[in-house]
């Protein structure tokens, strides 16, 4: 069954814990935490203290996406703060192999993300060490962007290479996910969908999650 990872960037920050709890109760599988430094991407979001506060009071699988220039130096702080999965960008300035090893040493699952301009083959050398690959279907930095259709081709290429090598990392897609684009991604081989406004700002989050799963042919929540 497809997994839903709602991005808390779309949550109500005046009542963040309550808002996150509501989408988990509505059937979300995990919470997607977007971390931006204003340097790797042109936006600044939240950091270690927010994750620590959430994880201390709200048991969940925390899917943390580091959109920052130097992910290696922040691996331990985010893992200690409650990250379950820590995803960093291949295009960042930290050495990818050292970053993956540090994530595993800190007790987290390791994910690698690629921006829209990065070819899928760039992640192939790392597939054997990753629990997840995140394909960005928009330029990272801001929510509400339009889905880039070429993301489905990249998902399919990564899935094919993983299958060829007998590997089974999860493939996640982030950006512009809705009832029309979600099936394109899952049909190409994606396992995890990041959706922000489509879930957090829906009048009925449970209905929105069920509708996304149904659109992907995975049944209700």
Instruction: Name the nearest CA neighbour of 118 among 146, 139, 103, 99.
Output: 139
Q: Which of 29, 37, 63, 174 is catalytic?
A: 174
With vertex at residue 212, the alpha carbon angle to CA 211 and CA 216, rounded to the nearest 5 degrees, is 115
Question: Length of the chain, please?
Answer: 221
191 noted as active-site residue? no
63 noted as active-site residue? no
Specify whether the CB–CB gap between 173 and 190 falls below 8 A.
yes
Give CA separation, 79 vs 90, 98, 183, 191, in Å.
19, 15, 32, 23
Instruction: Report the side by side order of strands in the sheet with 31-36.
Output: 3-4, 192-194, 170-174, 132-136, 109-114, 85-89, 62-67, 31-36
Q: Which of 34, 37, 63, 191 is catalytic?
A: 34
Rounded to whole angstroms, the Cα distance separating 128 from 72 reads 19
β 192-194/3-4 pair status: parallel
Helix, strand or coil for residue 102? helix
- Residues recognised as catalytic: 34, 174
């Amino acid at each position: 069954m497809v997994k839903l990872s709602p991005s808390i960037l779309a949550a109500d920050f005046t009542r963040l814990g309550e808002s996150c709890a509501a989408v988990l109760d509505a059937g979300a599988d995990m919470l997607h935490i977007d971390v931006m430094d204003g340097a790797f991407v042109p936006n600044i979001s939240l950091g270690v203290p927010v994750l620590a506060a959430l994880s201390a009071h709200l048991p969940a699988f925390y899917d943390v996406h580091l959109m920052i220039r130097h992910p290696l130096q922040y691996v331990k702080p985010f893992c200690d703060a409650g990250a379950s999965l820590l995803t960093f960008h291949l295009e960042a300035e930290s050495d990818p192999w050292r970053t993956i090893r540090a994530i595993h040493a800190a007790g987290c699952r390791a994910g690698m993300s690629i921006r829209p301009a990065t070819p899928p083959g760039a992640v192939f050398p790392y597939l054997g060490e990753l629990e997840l690959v995140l394909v960005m279907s928009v330029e990272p930095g801001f929510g509400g962007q339009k889905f880039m259709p070429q993301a489905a081709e990249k998902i399919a290429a990564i899935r094919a290479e993983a299958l060829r090598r007998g590997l089974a990392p999860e493939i996640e897609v982030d950006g512009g996910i809705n009832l029309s684009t979600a099936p394109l991604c899952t049909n190409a081989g994606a396992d995890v969908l990041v959706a922000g406004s489509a879930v957090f700002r829906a009048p009925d989050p449970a209905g929105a999650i069920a509708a996304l799963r149904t659109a992907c042919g995975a049944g209700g929540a």
